[in-house]
Structure 1
Amino acid sequence: MTLAAQHILIVGGGFSGMSAAIELRKLGAEVDLVEIDPGWRNYGAGISLGGATLRAFRQLGILDAFLEHGAAHDGVSLRLPNGAQVAELPTPRIAGPDVPGGGAIMRPVLGRLLADATRAAGTTVRLGCTFTSIEQDAEGVELSFTDGQRRRYDLVIGADGLYSKLRETLFPDAPKPRYTGQACWRAVVPRPPEIRNATMWIGPQVKPGVNPVSKTEMYLFLLEPRPVNEHVDPATFVDQLRGLLADFPAPELQAIRAGLGPTSQVVFRPLEALLMPRPWSKGRIVLIGDTVHATTPHLASGACIGIEDALVLAEEVGRHDRVEAALSAFEARRWERCRMVVENSARLGEIEIDGGDKEEHTGIMRNSLMALAQPI
């Protein structure tokens, strides 16, 4: 096989960067991955995943590990604040007839599964390291690193996230992350037997939900409108989350509220988004994942489209003998799908903030899930 690039560097060890390393190693490329965090940590509580993500896991070779350590199920239940169910969104089994249409897992657990697979694939991983300078010519890219090394590559992949140093270096005029006017609260809580799949309660402006992450645990998420992105004292997290749940008499939510206390681990995150216009590449350097299309969690697809970027990029590197052609084909395949996820997620957030049309909200979710079921 003739590859567009044989010596490849990945900057950033998040989900999309690790996925790119795994797939490119399958092609026989020599892959280095540098990650600035010496502990290679993934922060947060749970992460919801759709069928398209599980399909990607199957290709990556981590689906069985996910099913062992996470939770998989069919359908998304939509309920009123009092608990009455108003809709059940279907989640097609696009990963295969034997795999449920969605699921969830703890973020640190998924990070560990991908890190193990990245190393097992033969990737050279350098932790606590990033680039200090980058120069390219027609034949390659030369970088200096914080560990004192200087190396040359055929292709550099930027997967260093929402606040990407590589994006800022390559495209200094690119859009900056934008605060969306919503924040998300998360906590891991015990899973009662009656919670079998992802479930959301649709309030006028606040939307809580739960999703199983294992046989015994689920994670609570709650979207809240916040006009200003200001500091919130962590000492107030539990009390604020309890207050937000007070308006939802559904028994499941009240049981969660009663169980929140001083030892509860609550995560608070203002929601930011980014959609960088094309091009996503310059010469032999290409950006993927949150670096170019960070989205809010409304469609549970931010990780999905970043991981899919990695799969498609590897396919195009293996399909072409020139880097320019591979990157052009990659962008052409990815733009519309990623744009749809970012913009539809943003619209869902606007509807929630404004207390808008719930039928439009449900329709966008249904149509988006159907679009995500299509091949990549």
Structure 2
Amino acid sequence: MMAAAKKVLVIGGGFSGMSAAIMLARGGIETDLVEIDAGWRSYGAGISLHGATLRVFAELGILEAFKATGAATDGLVVRMPHNDQVIVTIPTPPMPGTGLPGNAAIMRPALAAILADATRAAGVSVKLGCSFETITQDELGVDVTFTDGTRARYDAVIGADGLYSKTRATLMPEAPQPEYVGQAVWRAEMTTPEGIETINMWLGKGLKVGINPVSAGRSYMFVTEDRPTNDWVEESELLPQMIALLDQFPSPTLTAVKEGLSEESKLIYRPLEKMLLPQPWHAGRVMLIGDAVHATTPHLGAGACIGMEDGLVIAEQLLRADTVAEAFTAHESRRWDRCSMVVHNSARLSEIEITGGDQKEHNNIMSRSMMALGEPV
């Protein structure tokens, strides 16, 4: 049986797009990838990863590179905000086949660099500083003109261009728009505090602080803030506002962290948004994956995981099916329950935090979701 496609275009060079491109090219499909950012940069501090992401890394062949650069730890520890007392420890079961514990983290730019190297090594043709201008389809293929004036024809196109996807806006103008959830997250990089060996969280009123190791001796901190309005924060305000938030936590650990923050701490602020596109996720021979169809808040640490899984699954289906239509239908069938679970459960966790809801429900959702993500894709 031949693959459903001989030549595929991937729009977007983020984690989802690179994962798809790597597996398509390794399967023998001629694969082009275009990325609008000429520097192919990945913005952000650290990223927390559910253990299932390590399983994806193993399939992509980048697990050893992750081990050399990132961190894998065991369990989630929740502490009191004033004295570091442990409230609960939630296990993070290891993923079979990885040889690693079930919690992981890495700096975003480091993961992006690992994937970029793997993308080029797989034989993907990468064009930076470029996106599509027009997409025109017929029964046999897709004609694409690019912003650099070139054009090409493909059997299928994969739109992996993120939350504010140009591909989605072009082909599905009536699609729902991203929705602000009423929380924002602040992030910073730091030396790992003494006694922090895995992800730790401190719960306050309208605030949650977490510290997660990302490499030997280094961690990143996130501060999730209930924020009714979707505000813009000037870069000059990042440090004083983050310090003001941490002032509400007398914890000895967080007090020491606060005193060590500076303009060199790679401070970042981002409002949290969600979006779940009803199926179908494709229009003709163009399939959307990743944040373009199921953007989630980071409460489960699974957004990157399910996006990269999309890349693996769409590549597998295109290599397995007889037609593009069959591949796309099979992909959507496999992905809906898992991806919608992450979006909905993450949103519910956010809602519980904002409304001061039942902490037991919060812990139960976390535990159930972690177990569900460990199931086969």
TM-score for both structures, normalised by structure 1: 0.98
Change (3 A) 1:5 1:264: same
Aligned to 1:147: 148
Mapped pair 1:31 → 2:35: no
Equivalent positions of 1:242-253 (< 5 A) are 242-253=243-254
2:55 and 2:98 in contact (8 A); partners too: no
**Amino acid aligned to 1:185:** W
Aligned-partner SS, 2:293: helix
1:348 and 1:361 in contact (8 A); partners too: yes
Per-residue CA deviations over 1:166-225 (Å, capped at 9, x if unaligned) read 000110000011111100000001113411001111123200000001112100001001
349-358 vs 30-39, greater mean Cα deviation = 349-358
Aligned to 1:91: 92
Aligned to 1:356: 357
Alpha-carbon distance between aligned partners in 2 of 1:25 and 1:234, rounded to the nearest angstrom: 40
Aligned to 1:121: 122
Aligned-partner SS, 2:28: coil
Equivalent positions of 1:1-376 (< 5 A) are 2-82=2-82, 83-96=84-97, 98-376=99-377
Unaligned runs of 5+ in 2: none
Aligned-partner SS, 2:204: coil
Aligned-partner SS, 1:265: coil
- What's the offset of the Cα at 1:261? 2.9
**Amino acid aligned to 2:137:** Q
Change (3 A) 1:263 1:58: closer
Alpha-carbon distance between aligned partners in 1 of 2:190 and 2:123, rounded to the nearest angstrom: 37
1:18 and 1:114 in contact (8 A); partners too: yes
Per-residue CA deviations over 1:225-264 (Å, capped at 9, x if unaligned) read 1111122122111111111111212211111011123443
1:95 and 1:101 in contact (8 A); partners too: no
Alpha-carbon distance between aligned partners in 1 of 2:264 and 2:100, rounded to the nearest angstrom: 35
Change (3 A) 1:97 1:233: closer
- What's the offset of the Cα at 1:106? 0.4
Aligned-partner SS, 1:185: strand
Please tell me the root mean square deviation across aligned C-alpha atoms, in Å.
Answer: 1.0
13-22 vs 257-266, greater mean Cα deviation = 257-266
- What's the offset of the Cα at 1:9? 0.2
2:297 and 2:343 in contact (8 A); partners too: yes
Alpha-carbon distance between aligned partners in 2 of 1:40 and 1:301, rounded to the nearest angstrom: 23
- What's the offset of the Cα at 1:87? 1.1
Percentage identity across paired residues of the two chains = 57
**Amino acid aligned to 1:91:** T
Alpha-carbon distance between aligned partners in 1 of 2:101 and 2:233, rounded to the nearest angstrom: 37
- What's the offset of the Cα at 1:97? 6.2
1:35 and 1:129 in contact (8 A); partners too: yes
Alpha-carbon distance between aligned partners in 1 of 2:41 and 2:202, rounded to the nearest angstrom: 31
Would you identify which runs of 4 or more consecutive aligned residues in structure 1 move more than 6 Å? none
Unaligned runs of 5+ in 1: none
72-81 vs 118-127, greater mean Cα deviation = 72-81
Alpha-carbon distance between aligned partners in 2 of 1:263 and 1:66, rounded to the nearest angstrom: 24
